[in-house]
Structure 1
Amino acid sequence: MTYTTHPTADELFDISDDRLRERASLKWSNVDVDVLPAWVAEMDVHLAPAIIDALQNAITRHDAGYPGSAEGVTQAFSDFARDRWNWNIEPDQVSIHVDAATAAAKLMRHYAGADRSVMIMPPVYNRFYDWLDVGGVRPVEVPLTDVPNGGYFDLDGIEAGLKAGTKVILLCNPHNPLGRVFSRQELSELAELAERYDAVVLSDEIHAPLVYHGVEYSPWLTVSEAAANTGIAIHTATKSWNFAGLKCGIAIRSTTGPWPDDLDPKTSLTDSGFWGILATEAAFSQSRDWLDTVREHFEAQTGRLTQLLAEHLPEVKFHPPEASFLAWLDFGDTDLREEPSEYFLREARVALNPGTRFGAAGEGYARLNMGTSAQRLERIIKAMGKAWPPAA
């Protein structure tokens, strides 16, 4: 693609089905050729020019060794956090890891209490269950309340779990799959409980760069003194700039909060993906215009999806997200009596994520990926509409 100085969303997402099927990454390569994929969290988008340049320059230099320094990526992330979220981070508070999953698994393994439990709040990011397995810990589920209207913390349930001995809370904010951005007040109440019961909060904030305009996002470590005392934040650029296959996770701790002495930032840097570090630095430092265009596109996609569902699937409920490109579709009040994703794969040739992959609280739901062009989103919903209503 030949980019304009400031490419539009139509330009960035203008990729044909045939070109997308040439990709070897998961979203398009793992479905049949007649299926429209709207499942795994990959975007159908052209990479940001600065990221392409960083990777091409590394190839030109034949530069594919171990990471040599974290200084550039640490500075790029710190500058982004200051400019976008008013979050001031000192370099020694940041460490680079293979990815968010690896960092979280190590931290959960270290801080889980005698019962080896970690609290999660389903429906929640399906890979959390994998992270828990790798960390050798078990989930304690405290489902979010009022999910059809966005989803809220069950503070009584959280306190009961902490009182019973759970010592780690794995938080997802912005939330996947609901797209919910929890308020500072909600996070502050959670932090007070964590501090009261001497628990550690691992805050997965990887969708934070894609929070919509006008929505207040509060990084965990900025919420309150209690949050800073109890938390570790985990970030990446890989979701927001669409290079999940290039590994680079970022963990941030506060000067007063937890951090394992045996988790050496020098070792975790060497274990990380060199090209992922290069791409991450280019993302945070040189690809903000690209990000803003993509973010505005997803805000518009949310409006489009609302209209398309009303026209083609009016019985399906959808609470508009406040961040990112994922939609949580509620089939609970419809006549559909089977797993929604299985139904639409068979009848509409559209691939969705099963709601039950996000915990038992996801029964009757499906996750839809809006990270595509406006035209393809319309094709997806129209195909689903043609298969609706299900036969009696």
Structure 2
Amino acid sequence: MTASPLQALPLDELRRRSSTKWRKYGDDVLPLFVAETDFPLAPAITARLAEAVALGDTGYTPPDPGIAGAYAGFAQRRFGWQVDPARVRTTCDVMMGVVEILRAVTVPGDRVVVTPPVYPPFYSCIEEVGAVDERVPLVYTGDGWELDLLGIEAALAGGSRAVLLCNPHNPTGTVHSAQALADLADIAAGFGAVVISDEIHAPLVHPGVAFTPFLAASPVAPRVGFTVASASKAFNLAGLKCAVMVTASDEHTAIVRGLPDEVEWRTGLFGALANAAAFDEGSDPWLDSLLAALDENRRLLAELLAEHLPQARYRIPDAGYLAWVDLTALGWGDNPAGRILREAKVALHLGPLFGEEGKGHVRINFACAPEVLREAVARIGALAASS
């Protein structure tokens, strides 16, 4: 039975929020940039947090806040992936988990492979640990994007020590195939390298698309891989700090357990409570309704772009609520989001921040009401018509 689409909150209510999406710009701007969603929280999360507030349950996060078991259950139900709860450790957020694992497996000056266009904090996280990013762009096939496995192999052969993987990929919405991930694991193993897989968008894979967790891609993957994940993107919990670091081998479990205690202490109690509620089976119907809404919006965006911006190039993403749109043909320069903000009053994410491959591109967050999406694209289309 197909879930009914979740309904976004009205704009006047959303503008009462105090988060970045609703405070960075004035009320004349439609904000479709940062990865926050416009939907009500899952009821189980609201109830759990309300109970904590009523109890004054605002102290330190305990050693076992219930996340490990909840995440293992979620992974089994949604991905068919068996996670050992004893191999799950929490931290503040996904990027902090990435940084701390990188600190443990690299030394300053090491090179780390990234696959642009990619989430901008990947670059700063690598810089934070004193490593250097080595960029091996995704390959566009005409029907989507793929990992450049030969390019990654060459980078590792040249001395790179790790691969920072975005799976599913932000901003393209690519869900890497099981075969590509298995091949990546083999390549990394051949050079004694590691793969750190950011799987924060995994709960948001759309109908008809199979998601493969990196650690489940092959018998080799557990030997080379680490996974970092959170409920924050799917369930709109970025302000409630919590992520999980997952391993599947004794060696890598020891590495994560050996991280300083402070790495785990940075987990927020409300983040832990909210993530446990999100990963619980009781939140599955809400997630299915969210996916139904996002499925409609990703297709609606294609129709709107065809109507108002036929020069735009957009491939409907296989995961997530972020659209990667090429506006090069409009002639608005390397960073078209700047002009769109100034003249159309629509805030989009800046393409060049994702790497050289982002020039001429914008990233559009379509986790909003359909009427907001219609208005935003109509404004951009009017700007194009007047140019």
Task: Determine if the alignment matches structure 1 residue 324 to structure 2 residue 320.
Answer: yes
Q: Offset of 1:389 from its aligned partner?
A: 3.8
Q: What are the within-5 Å matches in structure 2 for residues 26-45 of structure 1?
A: 26-45=20-39
Task: Determine if the alignment matches structure 1 residue 219 to structure 2 residue 213.
Answer: yes
Task: Determine if the alignment matches structure 1 residue 101 to structure 2 residue 100.
Answer: no
Which residue number corresponds to residue 116 of structure 2?
122
Which residue number corresponds to residue 3 of structure 1?
none
Match of 2:269 among 246, 266, 274: 274
Match of 2:307 among 307, 311, 317: 311
Greater CA drift, 261-270 or 184-193: 261-270
Opposite residue 70 of structure 2, the aligned amino acid is A
Check whether the contact 1:331–1:340 (CA below 8 A) recurs between aligned residues: yes
Check whether the contact 1:169–1:202 (CA below 8 A) recurs between aligned residues: yes
Check whether the contact 1:126–1:358 (CA below 8 A) recurs between aligned residues: yes
Opposite residue 297 of structure 1, the aligned amino acid is A
Opposite residue 330 of structure 1, the aligned amino acid is D
Opposite residue 229 of structure 1, the aligned amino acid is R
Q: What are the within-5 Å matches in structure 2 for residues 153-168 of structure 1?
A: 153-168=147-162
**Matched position secondary structure for 2:165:** strand
Separation (CA, whole Å) in 2 of partners of 1:18 and 1:262: 46
Q: Offset of 1:45 from its aligned partner?
A: 1.0
Structure 1 portions without partners, runs of 5+:
1-5
Cα distance, 1:146–1:268 mapped onto 2, change above 3 Å: same
Q: What are the within-5 Å matches in structure 2 for residues 253-264 of structure 1?
A: 253-256=247-250, 258-259=252-253, 260=255, 263-264=258-259
Q: Offset of 1:264 from its aligned partner?
A: 4.4
Opposite residue 269 of structure 1, the aligned amino acid is E
TM-score with structure 2 setting the length: 0.95
Greater CA drift, 260-269 or 17-26: 260-269
Separation (CA, whole Å) in 1 of partners of 2:292 and 2:378: 23
Check whether the contact 1:203–1:233 (CA below 8 A) recurs between aligned residues: yes
Q: Offset of 1:220 from its aligned partner?
A: 0.5
* Per-residue CA distance 1:313-366 (angstroms, 9 max, x = gap): 001010110011000001133333352101111221100011111111111111
Structure 2 portions without partners, runs of 5+:
none
Greater CA drift, 129-138 or 16-25: 129-138
**Matched position secondary structure for 2:249:** coil
**Matched position secondary structure for 2:329:** coil
Match of 1:134 among 120, 128, 141: 128
Separation (CA, whole Å) in 2 of partners of 1:349 and 1:222: 44
Check whether the contact 1:155–1:190 (CA below 8 A) recurs between aligned residues: yes
Separation (CA, whole Å) in 2 of partners of 1:135 and 1:46: 37
**Matched position secondary structure for 2:188:** helix
Check whether the contact 2:107–2:130 (CA below 8 A) recurs between aligned residues: no
Separation (CA, whole Å) in 2 of partners of 1:322 and 1:57: 36
Separation (CA, whole Å) in 2 of partners of 1:213 and 1:152: 20
Separation (CA, whole Å) in 1 of partners of 2:13 and 2:284: 26
Greater CA drift, 113-122 or 180-189: 113-122
The count of residues paired between Structure 1 and Structure 2 equals 384
Separation (CA, whole Å) in 2 of partners of 1:111 and 1:264: 11
Separation (CA, whole Å) in 2 of partners of 1:287 and 1:353: 29
**Matched position secondary structure for 1:175:** coil
Task: Determine if the alignment matches structure 1 residue 196 to structure 2 residue 190.
Answer: yes
Opposite residue 93 of structure 1, the aligned amino acid is R
Separation (CA, whole Å) in 2 of partners of 1:263 and 1:100: 18
Which residue number corresponds to residue 347 of structure 1?
343
Q: Offset of 1:225 from its aligned partner?
A: 1.5
TM-score with structure 1 setting the length: 0.94
Cα distance, 1:380–1:147 mapped onto 2, change above 3 Å: farther
Separation (CA, whole Å) in 2 of partners of 1:319 and 1:83: 28
Cα distance, 1:8–1:262 mapped onto 2, change above 3 Å: closer
Check whether the contact 1:148–1:330 (CA below 8 A) recurs between aligned residues: no
* Per-residue CA distance 1:292-324 (angstroms, 9 max, x = gap): 100111111111011111101001010110011
**Matched position secondary structure for 2:62:** coil
Separation (CA, whole Å) in 1 of partners of 2:132 and 2:261: 29
Which residue number corresponds to residue 9 of structure 1?
5
Match of 2:229 among 232, 235, 251: 235
The percentage of aligned residue pairs carrying the same residue is 37
Cα RMSD, aligned residues only = 1.8
Opposite residue 33 of structure 2, the aligned amino acid is W
**Matched position secondary structure for 1:193:** helix
Q: What are the within-5 Å matches in structure 2 for residues 280-295 of structure 1?
A: 280-285=275-280, 286-295=282-291
